[in-house]
Each structure stands twice: as structure tokens, then as C-alpha cells.
Chains A and B, each alone.
Chain A
Amino acid sequence: MVPFKIEITHRNTLPVVHIAGELDIHNCKELDSVLSPLLSASTQTLAFNLAQTVYIDSTGLGILAHAARHLAKTQGSVLVICPKPQLKKVFELAGLHKKNVLLFEDETTALSNY
């Protein structure tokens, strides 16, 4: 089992949030508190790397949707690196991929413009 962990790296000025393990109702508050300083700063775009994420539930998606909605006010967007089909499926079911949330298979493609 992959233990839950959140790590932030930067690609130039772009923050990349790496989430490992299962993101669900129990630990989504942790993600929320990690994101709030990033959202209050002058962040235009935010990336999430879910390569090590094994599960994401509606509360976790809710937090990503909240970030996307916040960034949409300044025409910003959220990049999601999501190689796993079972995670891609929940993004699609939630209708998140239609808004300013862009899904990518790998980090190289997602961050090529940054």
C-alpha cells in the first residue's frame, strides 16, 4: 500500500502538487490546507501529479474543482497528470475535464510549456 503523502515541487514558477496514496474524505482537508497558500498567491496555473495516486474520491475531486474554479477567475487552469485509467474515469464522470481542468498522460507532456 502506498502511504498518503503530499509534496510540492516547482517547474520554474509553476507549482506541481504530487499526491501519493489514497486521497479521500479522511485526508482531503490536508490537501485543502496545502493548496490555500498557493491559491492566495498570484498563481495562474497549478499542476497536480497523480502518477502515485491510487484512489481519489468525490471530496478530493471537490478540492481540485474548487482550485480550478478559483483559477478560472483569472483565466487560469489546472493541469492534471493522470496516467491511471481508473482515475481518469472519475474525472470524466465528474465532468471536470470539460472545464479548465486539463488531463495529461505524463509530466513531460503536461509541463512542456513551462
Chain B
Amino acid sequence: MSKSITMTLPASSEFVAVTRLTVSGIAARMNFPIEVIEDLKVSLSEACTNVVQHAYPEKESGVIEIAFHLHPDKLEIFVEDHGKGFNPKEAASQKENSATIESFGLGLGLTFIKSLMDEAEVTSHIGKGTVVRMVKYSPNPTIK
């Protein structure tokens, strides 16, 4: 049986640091080594940064819902928003042509998540929102 921790926070930039602190605490509790904790911090932070930057139209408030599932052998994290969603194919082509700071950040955030996590999937529906699921396997599993 896995244990779960959920949190809902405003999709605004000052709270992204809170998600890094939270995942550090959870990962330390699960005995993840310090380098892996850093990878988890970057991945979760980037997923939340994407929500803050892109999910909700300007001047509209929204939330980020995060669920941590603490499995015996892995940490599974869902980051969900109820924003405008996007077409992953279009986002990929924009990344190549663009020269702006913001879009550099977007493509980079997903690159970080995909290279630092063991599993990472993005599901998005236009008008409904986006879910990022990511998994990191524990090098010291506590399977009973």
C-alpha cells in the first residue's frame, strides 16, 4: 500500500520554492540520496513553473494540485492544473523556432524533467488542463 500526500497551491511564482522544500522533505523521508533529492527538486519545480507561466490566462487565478504517492520502491508525483492546456506537438515545434526567454524556459523545463526522472509523461487537453506524471525509483527500496 502506498501512502499519499496532496497539496493545492496558488499557481503563482512565490509558491514554487515551497514545492521544492516539500519534495525535499518527502524524498529525505524515503531515504533518497542527496543528488537524487536535487533532481526531484528541479523536476517538480520546473513542472510547477510551467503551470505558473503557461496554464492560466493572465489576470486569472488558478491552482496547482500536487499528489505525491510514496510507494515502497518509488516516488510518484502528479502535477495537475485546470488551465487552458496545450498541444504537445505544437509546443515542440515552437521550441525550435523561438528566441524568447520564456519559450527557452518552457522547452528546457520539460527537458530537465525527462532527463532527471525515471519516468515522465505529459497529458494535456485543450480547455481542460495538463497533468505531468513523474516517477523516481528509490535506490534503497523499503519493500516489506
Contacts and interface: CB of A to CB of B under 8 A. Distances in A.
B4 interface: no
Interface string B46-62: 10010011000000000
Contacts of A90: 42, 112
Binding site secondary structure of chain B = helix
A63 B101 CA distance: 6
Given A58-B49, A58-B112, A59-B49, A26 B38 contact: no
Name the interface size band of chain A. Answer: 20 to 34
B45 A57 contact: yes
A61 B108 CA distance: 9
B20 A25 contact: no
B16 A24 contact: yes
Contact of A58 (B17, B35, B108): B108
A69 to B, nearest CB: 8
Interface residues of B, number: 26
Nearest to A63: B101
A93 B13 CA distance: 23
A26 B13 contact: yes
Contacts of B102: 62
Interface of B: 13-14, 16-17, 20, 35, 38, 41-42, 45-46, 49, 52-53, 99, 101-102, 104-106, 108-109, 111-112, 115-116
Interface of A: 22, 24-26, 32, 55, 57-59, 61-63, 65-66, 69, 86, 89-90, 93-94
